[in-house]
Structure 1
């Protein structure tokens, strides 16, 4: 009997590798990836995730998992939030730190939202799994496997995501916290 698959919509091989590591070998579905250019939607974090998931199901006609990651500056009342990808394209991670230069408050929250749908995809059919990590924005330190990881220092650590060993990051990050909920949904502890 072959293992059921779930399509994770991403073109980022590092993200797929990290998610597989967090889910572990006993996860009941085989995660495969597919790059699909979805529109960059506007709205609140949950709205963006739901609409991305609905669009992916509409195009692929099969169960999907999508992820939307936000970086929320407290000094900016949550911005750039779900628009962080657009900010990164224009100003790069170093530009994000410059955006906070005039602010005393460098605190931020990383938010990862996974949206899952297994069939027809109305709003009520999309299940969200969200993880949050508090931290602060610092000058660039460490590797840049992911967009802004080397400028985000999680609370309780002296290193950025880019400096932390992968096994440590994968046990504390916003993505990890969201995937723990996802695993529980499928009965995996």
Structure 2
């Protein structure tokens, strides 16, 4: 019997691994075994030095594929706020200056800074979107890139305990709940990351 293909998700964020597994399974790639970088504790950190989501996703995917010798998938995602001219964008994870910090305090500081920057912004100008670019790369250099977007608006105070990052202040279009109030299944069905990885599943099948 053929062993299921193993793909390394280029992240040490433990919340992302089950989320991506669930999305790929729902998209018909459930036989792909997804593991995180926790399986490779000595893998080098890949600095997100590119100016675009696509550039950073490809940078990470190719670096991990080269290091592990296995197919790798990576994403770069963030929040684009209309009133902030599309920022924080690719700087979303380090908007408050906590470079390389995966602690909850970093998420809290980033979120609070956005709230403070929008303090005097009326509701009709609080439009925003979550963006995710997902990339797959093989050790031989082949690659595939897709993008997912979730439009919504930002509220003035946090609501919900699920998710991470800016989820507690983001309300998707057609919803009254924040993405932090949605169940994992509800969030995967509409999220930017869910959309990107569902599209990536088809490309991954071709690559593998």
Q: TM-score band (shorter)?
A: 0.7 to 0.9
Cα deviation for residue 109 of structure 1 reads: 0.8
SS in 2 for 1:13: coil
Segments of structure 1 that go 5 or more residues without pairing to the other structure are none
Structure 1 segment 76-87 matched on structure 2, within 5 A: 76-87=84-95
Structure 1 segment 148-167 matched on structure 2, within 5 A: 148-167=166-185
Cα deviation for residue 50 of structure 1 reads: 2.0
Larger deviation, residues 102-111 vs 35-44:
35-44
Structure 1 segment 124-139 matched on structure 2, within 5 A: 125-138=142-155, 139=157
Structure 1 segment 41-120 matched on structure 2, within 5 A: 41-87=49-95, 89=98, 91-104=109-122, 105-120=125-140
Structure 1 segment 8-23 matched on structure 2, within 5 A: 8-23=9-24
What does the per-residue CA deviation read over 1:97-128, in whole Å, with 9 as the maximum and x for residues that have no partner?
2122233321111011111111233xxx3211
The alignment covers a number of residue pairs equal to 184
Q: Distance in 1 between matches of 2:162 and 2:112?
A: 11
Contact 1:94–1:140 (CA under 8 A) maintained in structure 2: no
| TM-score, normalised with respect to structure 1 | 0.87
Partner of 1:179: 197
Q: Distance in 1 between matches of 2:70 and 2:165?
A: 29
Q: Distance in 1 between matches of 2:143 and 2:119?
A: 39
Bigger fraction of residues in helix: 2
| TM-score, normalised with respect to structure 2 | 0.80
Q: Distance in 1 between matches of 2:71 and 2:169?
A: 34
SS in 1 for 2:182: coil
For the aligned residue pairs, the C-alpha RMSD in angstroms reads: 2.0
Segments of structure 2 that go 5 or more residues without pairing to the other structure are 99-105
Larger deviation, residues 42-51 vs 15-24:
42-51
